[in-house]
Structure 1
């Protein structure tokens, strides 16, 4: 499977800082939009969320800023499923631009499927699991995600 592109956008003027670079918070915004698009792809779109009362909540997010991104640059997010179980989804997003082979930024995320009436964790519906399994199957030959499992800390 070629890379699963979940979101594309130019870097907007409201998103850049005094240096003309994408502000740190807007990297996360772009990855958040990619997660929304991924939710649509697996059947957790707005209609499904309204009908089922279920959604995904982000439990943890690691964000790696690797290269600067400037105003107006067209970028896209590639999304890879690292793993999932009955209630959780482990995603890896990477940010890219044309003509630059290296990853611009990477975000590893752990998401929880939630019954909003609780709110409390809830198992994925069978249809969602089937879509996830299909994506995982298509991604089995992708190279390992480069920026997964990293830890922040100063040497002791």
Structure 2
């Protein structure tokens, strides 16, 4: 099971702009919902967050807008774990739709596991670390996504 689908949605009318395209901000919203689903998958669901006082914060997010996404399109997010350590999680979300083989958009993100009482960084629980390692092992054969590790800069600088 290398492909981990974390979120599915139709594109809503209030998410599109005057050109009928998905607005920039709503790409991040969709990817944010996918992160929420990933959190549930690794044991950081609402009940666990309430009991442990631990959650994930987004430290950095890059979005690459690759192809048009229009009103009514049925889309889904695939999530790949790029890596993790004691407190951080590096992920890549890609946006897809049926009948189109190319990635519509991608979002590379760095997340931090946080003790909300601080708030301050905190190590993942053994259970979450185990769940993450299982996902990494399942996705081991996946290539590194093309847009991972990119920086924003003008050519020649």
Instruction: Indicate the TM-score class for this superposition, using the shorter chain for normalisation.
Output: over 0.9
1:145: how far off?
A: 1.2
Give a deviation string over 1:49-107, Cα, whole Å, max 9, x none: 00000000000000000001000000000000000000000000000000100000000
Checking the alignment, whether the CA contact within 8 Å between 2:2 and 2:141 is kept in structure 1 is no
Give a deviation string over 1:117-147, Cα, whole Å, max 9, x none: 0000000000000000111110001122111
Aligned length: 156
1:105 match:
105
Quote the Cα distance in structure 2 between the aligned partners of 1:52 and 1:103.
Answer: 36
Q: Find the residue that maps to 2:123 and give its secondary structure.
A: coil
Q: Find the residue that maps to 1:108 and give its secondary structure.
A: strand
Give a deviation string over 1:5-46, Cα, whole Å, max 9, x none: 000000000100000000000000000000000000000000
Instruction: Name stretches of at least 5 consecutive residues in structure 1 with no aligned partner.
Output: none
Instruction: Name stretches of at least 5 consecutive residues in structure 2 with no aligned partner.
Output: none
Q: Find the residue that maps to 1:28 and give its secondary structure.
A: helix
Give the root-mean-square deviation of aligned CA atoms.
0.6
Quote the Cα distance in structure 1 between the aligned partners of 2:37 and 2:4.
Answer: 11
Which contiguous aligned blocks of 4+ residues in structure 1 show a shift greater than 4 angstroms?
none
Matched, 1:50 2:73: no
Q: Find the residue that maps to 1:61 and give its secondary structure.
A: strand
Q: Find the residue that maps to 1:18 and give its secondary structure.
A: coil
Quote the Cα distance in structure 2 between the aligned partners of 1:124 and 1:56.
Answer: 10
1:154 match:
154
TM-score, normalised by the number of residues in structure 1: 0.99
Quote the Cα distance in structure 2 between the aligned partners of 1:146 and 1:81.
Answer: 14
2:79 match:
79
